[in-house]
């Protein structure tokens, strides 16, 4: 007997349409016929469905849960969840079916519809009576819903009823065999009650989006993306309980040891709020692979003859020209330029390669850019025949000047934007040496990067110079991508990041864990079985971050991934067969973490077709780390796994998740998200009505879990 369903002393049946001996058919004759009821939860879980068949048909039954404001006929709301009860599992006895996923989260006070339909249209499914829903809290019943498509021969208000109350039994009249408001009939053996299997560890998914793009800092909805409330709600309703939320270090903390960026942190906070609304917890994941971009303040030049560490974004280099396609951005230099009130001047050759023939399409040369809401930008339009200067301060845009001129497609022109260098507090714009616009500077714009953005146009740039108070070279000193442990990026810098994050979220109940670093690899001192507990760069860096977090936050879990791309299959090679646990946590809430994909190179790209060895190798690849964690009583987490949306790969999910159940491993599937479309995506389609193929396994109740 399910302990969640309970056995209260009284029973309430919400409708009294229980007379007669009529029953209903689902799907016989023509078209789909279905029955169900509107209900309003006062607590937010449901668990079971009970009904009796009069005769057994040939088709499986589908159970649907929809979100509606009202439903008296066909439910018009979106399908939140659906399950199939195989025909072979149906019984003519009064039977209780635990639904999958169990304990789906509902919103208290909102109206829903719950109904049955045959799995196949025009199939004779079954005849039914005595429909019951058992829930974990009291529910207020609404009207029944029915669709007959002209094929009904009985009163559609008869025969089916949901019982709204916390009960594992239904009321039945011994004389008629019908439900009544009288004597009750306990659903106990021989009536089957199938308990769902849940695991005592968190199980969830990752939402990719905020870590997108190489433009630093980049812009929301151009370079990187949030996920919608609908996505969070979908996965919450599927029974997941955690979301691993990736972010980029450079965006959250633009300057080493500096404050967290309020705009980008605001996007994280928005996602955390959406997770809370869906009953989900968040794992904050620094998605930087053990390194980050560092830019020193100061001027620099770029001839674009080769890859240039000063520039980030979606661009290409060829023949000493930097090119970007429409709606992409290349960002250059430090967000601190100019420092200490210094002057600032940009010189570059700009051209439009193609613009679609629209007058508003242009190349934008941006200066003092911290984000889309704070910057100067110069628009250069061939089709429009103009160059215009704008400022955006705290989101308010103002045009500072405009110049009309004939510009030629595919031809470079030299642009100079001088901010206070020639004349104090004055912006001077020059085209091929001639001044075309002058305007006053704004005290609200004091520093920022330079960038080239294609506003609906494909555009290019060459011969770039940023002059900061006469300096055109020092910005390159200490700039580039550095690994933690390199001279330009220390373990202390990394610890500082996590001090700032943990301070910000120490009291946030929705944040569940801190994932210190996604897939560190090729660190200055690589991890081996001989140094994993001593001189390994990643071992030391992670311990520094753990200690920094515990100085301000003793509540949240800390997740520390393995060195070497976090590969679980490489555990023995990198750490030995039975290493002594090497990290310490004063709060005893540390979680070791690995990633595992099942393709030939373990990358998750799935470039080759499925072979039986992809599945048969799984146990040998991951059992060593799982067994080690169990032997040492350690929390273990798989932060990424997944397979393509192809039938032959699905067996790998079953094999892997069975092992995770055996060894009590936390999991987060990679990945979902509103714009995440890679091969392993778990994101639904068709307005959340069509599950990804993998959901049939990953979302099984036996592979779901509970928070600890």
Higher per-residue pLDDT: 2 or 347: 347
CATH of the domain at 674: 3.20.20.80
Tokens of 301: 């030049």
Most distant CA atoms of the chain, gap in Å: 101
Tokens of 578: 């039975």
pLDDT tens, residue by residue, 662-683: 999 999 999 999 999 999 999 9
Strands 666-672 and 203-207: parallel
Rounded to whole angstroms, the Cα distance separating 490 from 481 reads 13
Tokens of 644: 């393509």
Q: Please compute the mean of the pLDDT values over residues 14-21 and round it to a whole number.
A: 30
Partnered with residue 81 across adjacent β-strands are 65
| Residue 513 near residue 522, CB atoms below 8 Å | no
Same domain, yes or no, for 179 and 245?
no
What pLDDT is recorded for position 166?
23
Same domain, yes or no, for 558 and 585?
yes
- Taking Cα atoms as reference points, which of 591, 404, 413 lies closest to residue 515? 591
What pLDDT is recorded for position 63?
61
Higher per-residue pLDDT: 706 or 63: 706
Residue 696's domain spans which residues?
Answer: 208-292+485-703
Q: Give yes or no for residue 500 having a pLDDT over 90.
A: yes
What pLDDT is recorded for position 702?
87
Tell me whether residue 10 is exposed, middle or buried, using C-beta atoms within 10 angstroms of its C-beta: 0 to 12, 13 to 18, 19 or more: exposed
- pLDDT over 70, % of the chain: 72
Q: Give yes or no for residue 263 having a pLDDT over 60.
A: yes
What pLDDT is recorded for position 55?
52
Q: Give yes or no for residue 698 having a pLDDT over 60.
A: yes
What pLDDT is recorded for position 671?
98
Same domain, yes or no, for 138 and 231?
no
pLDDT tens, residue by residue, 130-157: 333 333 333 334 444 443 332 222 222 2
- Taking Cα atoms as reference points, which of 667, 662, 602 lies closest to residue 636? 667
Distances (CA, A) of 644 to 370, 425, 598, 610, 641: 38, 57, 10, 10, 11
Which of 63-77, 328-342, 443-457 is least confident?
A: 63-77
- Taking Cα atoms as reference points, which of 222, 208, 212, 256 lies closest to residue 369? 222
Q: Please, how many CA atoms are within 13 Å of residue 382, restricted to the half-sphere of its CB?
A: 21
Same domain, yes or no, for 499 and 448?
no
pLDDT tens, residue by residue, 289-334: 999 999 999 999 999 999 999 999 999 999 999 999 999 999 999 9
Q: Give yes or no for residue 160 having a pLDDT over 60.
A: no
Same domain, yes or no, for 695 and 653?
yes
Same domain, yes or no, for 502 and 632?
yes
Does residue 3 form part of some domain?
A: no
Residue 59, helix vs strand vs coil: coil
Same domain, yes or no, for 368 and 454?
yes
What pLDDT is recorded for position 476?
94
Residue 148, helix vs strand vs coil: coil
Same domain, yes or no, for 229 and 274?
yes
Does residue 69 form part of some domain?
A: yes
pLDDT band at 247 (very low <50, low <70, confident <90, very high): very high
Strands 281-286 and 242-247: parallel
Tell me whether residue 357 is exposed, middle or buried, using C-beta atoms within 10 angstroms of its C-beta: 0 to 12, 13 to 18, 19 or more: exposed
User: How many CB atoms are located within 10 Å of the residue 687 CB?
Assistant: 9
Partnered with residue 35 across adjacent β-strands are 116, 146
Which of 97-101, 165-169, 449-453, 527-531 is least confident?
A: 165-169
What pLDDT is recorded for position 342?
86
What pLDDT is recorded for position 199?
76
| Residue 331 near residue 217, CB atoms below 8 Å | yes
CATH of the domain at 415: 2.60.120.560
Which of 157-166, 302-311, 628-637 is least confident?
A: 157-166
What pLDDT is recorded for position 41?
57
pLDDT band at 64 (very low <50, low <70, confident <90, very high): low
Q: Please compute the mean of the pLDDT values over residues 473-490 and round it to a whole number.
A: 94
Partnered with residue 292 across adjacent β-strands are 482
pLDDT band at 539 (very low <50, low <70, confident <90, very high): very high
456, 478, 500 - which closes a domain: 478
Which of 262-271, 336-345, 544-553 is least confident?
A: 336-345
Tokens of 206: 């990752």
pLDDT band at 269 (very low <50, low <70, confident <90, very high): very high
What pLDDT is recorded for position 30?
37
What pLDDT is recorded for position 200?
85
| Residue 6 near residue 168, CB atoms below 8 Å | yes
pLDDT tens, residue by residue, 545-602: 999 999 999 999 999 999 999 999 999 999 999 999 999 999 999 999 999 999 999 9
Does residue 195 form part of some domain?
A: no
Does residue 200 form part of some domain?
A: no
Same domain, yes or no, for 214 and 339?
no
Q: Is the pTM of this model over 0.85?
A: no
Does residue 597 form part of some domain?
A: yes
Does residue 259 form part of some domain?
A: yes
Higher per-residue pLDDT: 273 or 237: 273
What pLDDT is recorded for position 347?
98
Partnered with residue 416 across adjacent β-strands are 347, 430
What pLDDT is recorded for position 462?
98
pLDDT band at 92 (very low <50, low <70, confident <90, very high): low
Q: Give yes or no for residue 33 having a pLDDT over 50.
A: no
Does residue 239 form part of some domain?
A: yes
Same domain, yes or no, for 567 and 688?
yes
Count of the separate structural domains present in the chain = 3
Q: Give yes or no for residue 363 having a pLDDT over 90.
A: yes
Q: What is the DSSP letter of 126?
A: E
Q: Please compute the mean of the pLDDT values over residues 373-396 and round it to a whole number.
A: 97
Q: Please compute the mean of the pLDDT values over residues 516-528 and round it to a whole number.
A: 98
Q: Give yes or no for residue 161 having a pLDDT over 50.
A: no
CATH of the domain at 101: 2.60.120
186, 216, 247 - which closes a domain: 186
Does residue 381 form part of some domain?
A: yes
Average pLDDT, the chain: 81
- pLDDT over 90, % of the chain: 69
Higher per-residue pLDDT: 406 or 8: 406
Same domain, yes or no, for 371 and 436?
yes
186, 218, 252 - which closes a domain: 186
Same domain, yes or no, for 38 and 173?
yes
User: How many CB atoms are located within 10 Å of the residue 406 CB?
Assistant: 6
What pLDDT is recorded for position 111?
65
Cite the beta strand spans of 188-328 per DSSP E: 203-207, 242-247, 281-286, 291-294, 300-302, 311-313, 316-318, 321-324
Higher per-residue pLDDT: 257 or 71: 257
Tokens of 630: 């169990």
What pLDDT is recorded for position 188?
23
Q: Please compute the mean of the pLDDT values over residues 459-471 and round it to a whole number.
A: 97
Higher per-residue pLDDT: 568 or 36: 568
pLDDT band at 458 (very low <50, low <70, confident <90, very high): very high
Q: Please compute the mean of the pLDDT values over residues 511-523 and round it to a whole number.
A: 98
Q: Please compute the mean of the pLDDT values over residues 43-51 and round it to a whole number.
A: 47
Tokens of 594: 């690995």
């Amino acid at each position: 007997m399910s302990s969640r369903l309970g056995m209260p002393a009284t029973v309430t049946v919400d409708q009294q349409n229980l007379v007669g001996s009529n029953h209903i058919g689902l799907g016989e004759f023509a078209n789909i016929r279905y029955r169900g009821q509107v209900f309003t939860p006062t607590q937010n879980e449901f668990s079971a469905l009970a009904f009796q068949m009069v005769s057994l048909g040939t088709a499986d039954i589908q159970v649907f849960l929809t979100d509606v404001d009202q439903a008296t006929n066909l439910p018009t709301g979106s399908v939140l969840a659906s399950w199939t009860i195989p025909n072979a599992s149906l019984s003519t006895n009064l039977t209780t079916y635990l639904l999958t996923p169990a304990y789906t989260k509902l919103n208290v006070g909102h109206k829903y519809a719950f109904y049955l339909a045959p799995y196949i249209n025009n199939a004779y499914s079954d005849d039914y009576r005595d429909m019951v829903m058992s829930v974990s809290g009291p529910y207020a019943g609404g009207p029944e819903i029915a669709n007959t498509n002209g094929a009904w021969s009985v009163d559609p208000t008869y025969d089916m009823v949901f019982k709204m109350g916390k009960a594992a039994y239904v009321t039945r009249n011994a004389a008629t065999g019908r439900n009544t408001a009288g004597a009750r009939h306990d659903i106990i053996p021989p009536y089957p009650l199938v308990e769902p299997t849940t695991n005592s560890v968190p199980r969830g998914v990752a939402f990719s989006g905020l870590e997108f793009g190489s433009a630093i800092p980049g812009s929301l909805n151009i370079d990187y993306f949030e996920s919608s409330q609908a996505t969070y709600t979908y996965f919450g309703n599927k029974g997941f309980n955690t979301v691993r939320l990736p972010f980029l270090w450079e965006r959250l903390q633009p300057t080493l040891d500096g404050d967290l960026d309020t705009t980008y942190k605001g996007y994280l906070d928005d996602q955390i709020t959406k997770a809370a609304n869906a009953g989900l917890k968040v794992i904050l994941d620094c998605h930087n692979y053990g390194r980050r971009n560092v830019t020193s303040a100061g001027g620099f030049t770029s001839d674009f003859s080769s890859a240039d560490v000063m520039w980030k974004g979606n661009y290409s280099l060829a023949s000493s020209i930097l090119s970007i396609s429409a709606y992409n951005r290349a960002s250059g230099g430090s967000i601190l330029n100019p420092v200490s009130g210094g002057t600032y001047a940009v010189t570059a050759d700009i051209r439009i390669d193609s613009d679609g023939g629209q007058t508003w399409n242009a190349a934008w040369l941006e200066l003092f850019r911290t984000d889309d809401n704070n910057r100067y930008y110069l628009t250069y339009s061939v089709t429009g025949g103009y160059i215009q200067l704008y400022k955006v301060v705290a989101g308010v845009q103002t045009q500072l000047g405009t110049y009309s001129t004939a510009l030629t497609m595919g031809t470079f022109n030299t642009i100079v934007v001088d901010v206070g260098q020639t004349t104090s507090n004055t912006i001077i714009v020059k085209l091929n040496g001639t001044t075309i616009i002058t305007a006053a500077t704004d005290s609200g714009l004091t520093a920022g990067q330079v960038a080239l953005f294609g506003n609906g146009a494909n555009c290019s740039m060459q011969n770039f110079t940023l002059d900061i108070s006469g300096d055109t070279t020092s910005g390159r000193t200490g700039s580039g991508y550095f690994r933690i442990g390199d001279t330009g990026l220390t373990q202390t810098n990394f610890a500082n990041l996590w001090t700032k994050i943990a301070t910000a979220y120490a009291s946030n109940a929705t944040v569940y864990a801190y994932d210190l670093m996604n897939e560190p690899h090729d660190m200055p001192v690589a991890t081996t079985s001989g140094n994993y507990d001593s001189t390994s760069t990643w071992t030391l860096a992670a311990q520094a971050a753990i200690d920094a977090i515990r100085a301000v936050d003793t509540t949240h879990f800390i997740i520390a991934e393995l060195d070497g791309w976090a590969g679980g299959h490489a555990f023995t090679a990198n750490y030995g067969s039975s290493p002594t646990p090497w990290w310490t946590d004063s709060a005893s809430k540390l979680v070791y973490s690995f990633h595992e994909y099942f393709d030939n190179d373990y990358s998750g790209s799935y470039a080759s077709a499925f072979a039986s060895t992809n599945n048969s190798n799984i146990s040998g690849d991951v059992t060593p780390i799982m067994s080690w964690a169990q032997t040492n009583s350690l929390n273990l987490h798989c932060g990424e796994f997944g397979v393509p949306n192809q039938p032959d790969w699905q067996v790998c999910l079953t094999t892997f998740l069975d092992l995770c159940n055996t060894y009590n491993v936390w999991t987060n599937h990679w990945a979902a998200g509103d714009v995440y479309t890679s091969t392993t995506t778990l994101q639904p389609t068709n307005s959340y009505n069509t599950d990804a193929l993998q959901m049939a396994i990953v979302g099984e109740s036996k592979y779901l879990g509970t928070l600890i």
